[in-house]
């Protein structure tokens, strides 16, 4: 079920017309549907019934406090990758014990902050990190619960920039080297090994790479237990894909059924770290057409949302569906166009070679499936303010992050003391 549909000729987020939000908030803006967020996590929760499993939302996908709190209120934990994300998760009401700290390069100061706050689990990715964490925990007189993230060397069949479980990737410890890493961890007095973690990539649209990785890791867990390690937890990571174009990603229920089967008899508490699947289709980016510029070979529709607001098309050649906010007539003629932003780079586009109904200045367009890795990857390039975020719930909506003023963007900057102040 889509939470973004045309009603009476106007695109709505649940019961709110996007046009109404645009009139009050201005454009561009991100808009999230609470119903869609809840529905996605609800599918996980229902599917996990009877399993010893939990969800730690990978908040890197969308770290809006309101989004995190929506999930925290439903019982989810958080998967974090920085001290900043930890502070956000705690601020949004995620209990520290439900936080998992992932990441390939955690600093000693970040590890210290995590231990002081009482995060539930740290997923270690290298022998060097084992040593640093042991030293930091020792200083604090604590023992840290850790898993070691292994790299199962399985091709997730996704975009190269978001593949993480192959030998050539920087993530995790190669399965052949991981046994030694566990042996080392077992001897460090301030660490308590509680399990194994993996995460093989993002936007996976088939289950086979998961099944293959889980079976490799399950064999490895048996070996670790023979070596005398207590392996109580298996963190399966995130990565489940969504629909951008015409993908047919597996349902959450099918994913969980596969995991259930693949981990049968393993006797591990399971953790899932979905990010994109919980928020991707629950969010859209809305922009306004500034002008339409016919070119020699195609038409450029220049909108006020740009690559700094949504970098995915430029960075990953990602496809995002774009539709007019005012419903086109079914027989409306289309024109071949590029939907581009105003930034001075040819890479600044949201979509290329699309056949869209004729658009004119002032029309609103909606970019679909922009809830994950949209607002969080935005920048102020070209001194463009970060786009506001709006949350809808039924017929109500609220701005959850207001648009900063242009002065806000540079208000923390300073001149060096030897420089004369500009005369303003
Ligand atoms: N767990 C770990 C350890 C991760 O590194 C990631 C994502 C996740 C969970 C969540 O993965 P998800 O369920 O969202 O696929 N910016 C890219 C995606 C980067 C993903 C990084 N790691 C994009 O826009 O496609």
Name the residue of 40, 61, 78, 100 to mutate for ligand 1: max ligand atoms within 8 A of Cβ. 61
Give the largest CA-CA distance in the chain. Answer: 74
* Helix, strand, coil distribution of the chain in percent, nearest 5: 35, 25, 40
Question: Active-site residue numbers?
Answer: 344
The residue contributing the CA closest to ligand 1 atom 7 is 202
What pLDDT does residue 43 have? 98
Q: Per-residue confidence at 163, pLDDT binned at 50, 70, 90?
A: confident
Q: Per-residue confidence at 161, pLDDT binned at 50, 70, 90?
A: confident
Q: Provide the mean pLDDT of the chain.
A: 96
What tens digit of pLDDT does each residue of 179-228 get? Answer: 999 999 999 999 999 999 999 999 999 999 999 999 999 999 999 999 99
- Do 357 and 298 have their domain in common? yes
Give the nearest ligand 1 atom to 315 CA.
24
The residue contributing the CA closest to ligand 1 atom 24 is 373
The residue contributing the CA closest to ligand 1 atom 22 is 202
Which residues are CB-contacts of 179 (< 8 A; sequence separation ≥ 6)? 220, 223, 224, 227
Average pLDDT over residues 159-171: 78
What pLDDT does residue 169 have? 82
CA dist 300 and 339 (Å) reads 6
Average pLDDT over residues 284-296: 96
Range of the domain at 336: 4-31+280-410
Cα(415) to ligand 1 centroid in Å equals 38
Judged on CB neighbours under 10 Å (0-12, 13-18, 19+), 414 is: exposed
Per DSSP, the three-state class of 54 is strand
Q: Per-residue confidence at 319, pLDDT binned at 50, 70, 90?
A: very high
- Do 288 and 267 have their domain in common? no
What pLDDT does residue 272 have? 98
In sequence order, the β-bridge partners of residue 392 are 33, 397
Give the nearest ligand 1 atom to 201 CA.
15
- Do 122 and 258 have their domain in common? yes
- Do 303 and 360 have their domain in common? yes
Q: Of 272, 305, 326, which residue constitutes the final position of a domain?
A: 272
Q: Per-residue confidence at 111, pLDDT binned at 50, 70, 90?
A: very high
Per DSSP, the three-state class of 327 is coil
Q: Of 272, 296, 312, which residue constitutes the final position of a domain?
A: 272
- Do 234 and 321 have their domain in common? no
This prediction has a pTM of: 0.97
Residue 36 resides in a domain:
no
Q: Per-residue confidence at 166, pLDDT binned at 50, 70, 90?
A: confident
Cα of first residue to Cα of last residue in the chain, in angstroms, is 55
Q: Per-residue confidence at 250, pLDDT binned at 50, 70, 90?
A: very high
The residue contributing the CA closest to ligand 1 atom 16 is 373
Per DSSP, the three-state class of 57 is strand
In sequence order, the β-bridge partners of residue 149 are 197
- Do 135 and 192 have their domain in common? yes
| Residue 81 CA: distances (Å) to CA of 173, 236, 378 | 17, 16, 18
CATH number at residue 349: 2.40.37.10
| Whether residue 402 has pLDDT greater than 90 | yes
Cα(239) to ligand 1 centroid in Å equals 6
CA dist 86 and 255 (Å) reads 28
Residue 336: HSE in the Cβ half-sphere, 13 Å Cα cutoff: 5
How many degrees, rounded to 5, is the angle at CA 169 between CA 211 and CA 131? 100
- Do 402 and 383 have their domain in common? yes
Give the nearest ligand 1 atom to 312 CA.
24
Counting every residue written for the chain, the total comes to 424
| Whether residue 154 has pLDDT greater than 80 | yes
What pLDDT does residue 130 have? 98
| Residue 59 CA: distances (Å) to CA of 55, 64, 144, 324, 399 | 12, 8, 22, 29, 19
- Do 118 and 8 have their domain in common? no
Per DSSP, the three-state class of 78 is strand
Return the DSSP state at 207.
S
- Do 288 and 401 have their domain in common? yes
What tens digit of pLDDT does each residue of 214-230 get? Answer: 999 999 999 999 999 99
Q: Which residues line ligand 1 (CB under 6 A)?
A: 58, 60-61, 79, 102, 162, 199, 202-203, 237-240, 273-277, 312, 316, 372-373
Backbone angles phi, psi at 352, to 5 degrees: -125, 145
What pLDDT does residue 164 have? 76
| Whether residue 168 has pLDDT greater than 80 | no
Q: Is residue 385 within 8 Å of 405, Cβ to Cβ?
A: yes
| Whether residue 165 has pLDDT greater than 80 | no
| Whether residue 296 has pLDDT greater than 90 | no
- Do 216 and 129 have their domain in common? yes
CA dist 390 and 76 (Å) reads 22
What pLDDT does residue 2 have? 85
CA dist 204 and 213 (Å) reads 13
Domain count, the chain: 2
Cα(55) to ligand 1 centroid in Å equals 14
The residue contributing the CA closest to ligand 1 atom 23 is 373
Which residues are CB-contacts of 423 (< 8 A; sequence separation ≥ 6)? none
Cα(373) to ligand 1 centroid in Å equals 9
Percent of the chain with pLDDT over 90: 94
| Residue 268 CA: distances (Å) to CA of 190, 218, 264, 308 | 23, 10, 9, 42
Cα(32) to ligand 1 centroid in Å equals 19
Cβ–Cβ contacts within 10 Å for residue 362, how many? 9
């Amino acid at each position: 079920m889509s939470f973004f549909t045309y009603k009476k000729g106007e695109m709505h987020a649940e019961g709110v017309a996007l046009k109404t939000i645009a009139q009050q908030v201005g454009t561009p803006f991100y808009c999230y549907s609470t119903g869609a967020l809840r529905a996605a996590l609800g599918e996980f929760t229902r599917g996990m019934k009877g399993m010893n499993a939990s969800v730690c939302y990978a908040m890197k996908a969308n770290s809006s406090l309101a989004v995190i709190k929506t999930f925290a209120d439903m019982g989810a934990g958080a998967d974090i990758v920085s001290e900043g994300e930890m502070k956000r998760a705690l601020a949004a009401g995620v209990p520290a014990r439900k936080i998992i700290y992932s990441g390939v390069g955690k600093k000693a100061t970040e590890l210290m902050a995590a231990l002081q706050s009482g995060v539930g689990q740290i997923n270690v990715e290298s022998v060097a990190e084992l040593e640093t964490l042991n030293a930091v925990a020792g200083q604090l007189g604590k023992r840290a619960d850790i898993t070691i993230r292994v790299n199962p060397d399985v091709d997730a069949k996704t975009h190269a920039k978001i593949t993480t479980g192959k030998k050539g990737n920087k993530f995790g410890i190669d399965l052949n080297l991981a046994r030694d890493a566990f042996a080392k961890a077992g001897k460090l007095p301030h660490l308590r090994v509680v399990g194994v973690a993996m995460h093989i990539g993002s936007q996976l649209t088939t289950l086979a790479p998961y099944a293959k990785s889980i079976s490799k890791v399950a064999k490895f867990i048996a070996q670790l237990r023979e070596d005398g390690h207590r392996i109580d937890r298996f963190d399966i990571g995130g990565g489940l894909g969504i629909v951008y174009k015409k993908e047919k990603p597996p349902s959450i229920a099918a994913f969980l059924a596969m995991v259930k089967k693949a981990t049968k008899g393993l006797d591990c508490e399971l953790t899932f770290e979905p990010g994109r699947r919980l928020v991707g289709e629950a969010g859209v980016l809305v922009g306004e057409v500034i002008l339409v510029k016919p070119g020699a070979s195609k038409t450029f529709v220049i909108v006020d949302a740009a690559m700094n607001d949504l970098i995915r098309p430029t960075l990953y050649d990602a496809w995002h569906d774009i539709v007019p906010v005012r419903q086109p007539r079914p027989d409306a003629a289309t024109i071949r166009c590029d939907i581009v932003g105003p930034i001075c780079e040819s890479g600044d586009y949201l979509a290329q070679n699309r056949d869209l109904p004729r658009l004119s200045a002032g029309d609103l367009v909606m970019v679909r499936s922009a809830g994950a890795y949209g607002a969080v990857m935005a920048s102020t390039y070209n001194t463009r303010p970060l786009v506001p975020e709006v949350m809808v719930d039924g017929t109500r909506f609220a701005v959850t992050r207001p648009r900063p003023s242009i002065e806000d963007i540079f208000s923390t900057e300073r001149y060096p003391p030897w420089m004369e102040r500009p005369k303003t």
